[in-house]
């Protein structure tokens, strides 16, 4: 029987920064917030986004294949794998150091390269919406479509960009390995960038040209690990209704029914707050007693103590 509260914590963009030096700095603060929770007696499992990092890797690999004709194009799934390792490396080191600084010597830290199966019949594949990589001219876009089978879309007058699908996560392939590590008290970083999207044929997994939302995969991971809390850390302390309007109201709590009502009324921006609230609902609604929390990284500890953030309960 477990007696510690188990928390899946999803790190947003501001926990990692946008460049190599920014990330080095950001992870130190992130590690402090995470170790604070462990010191409060929580069992923590970490997931994270990868928007800027996977963009950077994708652009670097595209430049490589432009410069060297022997280097074929790097699939997006491989770029996600690279981003998991790169972010995991920095986070893992920062966490290890922070634990040692506080004399917490019995918690090993590990990053799991994680694949997440998506359904190839997911309706999202029929309508790619997520822009990634560099802007291109119409001519460059045509070449990319022919050469790499990319779907290119014009992006509000700024040029053409590749768009990929954002299907729902169906299964975390490495879940049993993650569970074994978490159950033996290790601090695990997994499902980075939503996981490496793969489809399954027989025993073979194939990388998919897609990006899985990290908030949705975090909800799935939290359910699979029977967590007590899903904490989504982002750039706002609380979720608001009438966000950015004169009658804006910050919410301390909403139940699943209220949250669904607010979604219907269009209070949460698609692509930023909407997937977080949807993921929060999915976890909170999955079993009695499960709580989701959306707040700032710096407020994670206060949030878990019930002092701030927006709580989503059944």
Q: Where along the sequence are the contacts to ligand ADP (CB under 6 A)? A: 12-13, 49, 234-236, 239-240, 243, 267-269, 272-273
Task: Report in angstroms how near the CB of residue 143 gets to ligand ADP at its nearest.
Answer: 31
Tokens representing 70? 């022997």
Respond yes or no: is residue 223 known to be catalytic. no
Q: Output 49 or 150, the one with its CB closest to ligand ADP.
A: 49
CA distance 98 to 7: 19
Out of 5, 130, 168, 314, pick the active-site residue: 130
Question: 211 and 130 in contact (C-beta within 8 Å)?
Answer: yes
Respond yes or no: is residue 214 known to be catalytic. yes
Task: Report in angstroms how near the CB of residue 196 gets to ligand ADP at its nearest.
Answer: 19
Residue length, the chain?
A: 314
Cβ neighbours of residue 307 closer than 8 Å, sequence gap 6 or more: none
Q: Output 182 or 296, the one with its CB closest to ligand ADP.
A: 296
Out of 17, 49, 214, 303, pick the active-site residue: 214
Respond yes or no: is residue 168 known to be catalytic. no
Respond yes or no: is residue 25 known to be catalytic. no
Task: Report in angstroms how near the CB of residue 267 gets to ligand ADP at its nearest.
Answer: 5
Question: 179 and 197 in contact (C-beta within 8 Å)?
Answer: no
- DSSP-assigned beta bridge partners for residue 233: 11, 295
- DSSP-assigned beta bridge partners for residue 160: 136, 154
Respond yes or no: is residue 276 known to be catalytic. yes
Q: Output 62 or 281, the one with its CB closest to ligand ADP.
A: 281
CA distance 221 to 181: 14
Integer CA distances (angstroms), 227 to 7, 220, 256, in order: 6, 10, 18
Task: Report in angstroms how near the CB of residue 244 gets to ligand ADP at its nearest.
Answer: 8
Out of 12, 13, 17, 309, pick the active-site residue: 13
Out of 238, 276, 299, 301, pick the active-site residue: 276
- Please give the residue whose beta carbon sits closest to ligand ADP in the complex: 12
CA distance 103 to 41: 15
- Residues serving a catalytic function are 13-14, 130, 214, 276
């Amino acid at each position: 029987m477990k007696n510690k509260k188990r928390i899946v914590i999803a790190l947003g963009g501001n926990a990692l920064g946008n460049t190599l030096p920014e990330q080095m700095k950001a992870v130190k603060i992130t590690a402090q917030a995470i170790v604070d929770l462990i010191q409060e007696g929580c069992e923590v499992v970490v997931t994270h986004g990868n928007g800027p990092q996977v963009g950077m890797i994708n652009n670097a690999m595209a430049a490589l294949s432009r410069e060297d004709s022997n280097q074929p194009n790097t699939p997006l799934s491989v770029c996600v794998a690279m981003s998991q390792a790169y972010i995991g490396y920095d986070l893992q080191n920062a966490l290890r150091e922070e634990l040692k600084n506080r004399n917490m010597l019995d918690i090993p830290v590990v990053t799991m390269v994680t694949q997440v199966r998506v359904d190839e019949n997911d309706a999202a594949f029929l309508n790619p919406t997520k822009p990634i990589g560099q802007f291109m001219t119409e001519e460059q876009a045509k070449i990319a479509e022919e050469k790499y089978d990319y779907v290119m879309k014009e992006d509000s007058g700024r040029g053409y960009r590749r768009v990929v699908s954002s299907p729902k996560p169906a299964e975390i392939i490495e879940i049993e390995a993650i569970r074994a590590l978490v159950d033996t008290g290790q601090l695990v970083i997994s499902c980075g960038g939503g996981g490496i999207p793969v489809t399954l044929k027989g025993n073979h997994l194939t990388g998919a040209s897609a990006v899985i939302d990290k908030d949705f995969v975090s909800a799935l991971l939290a359910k699979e690990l029977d967590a007590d809390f899903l904490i989504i850390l982002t750039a706002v302390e609380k979720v608001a209704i009438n966000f950015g309007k004169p009658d804006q109201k910050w919410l301390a709590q909403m139940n699943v029914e209220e949250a669904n009502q607010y979604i219907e009324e269009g209070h949460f921006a698609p692509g930023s707050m909407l997937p977080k609230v949807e993921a929060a609902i999915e976890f909170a609604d999955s079993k009695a007693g499960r709580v989701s929390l959306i707040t700032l990284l710096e407020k994670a500890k206060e949030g878990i103590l019930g002092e701030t953030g927006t709580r989503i309960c059944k």
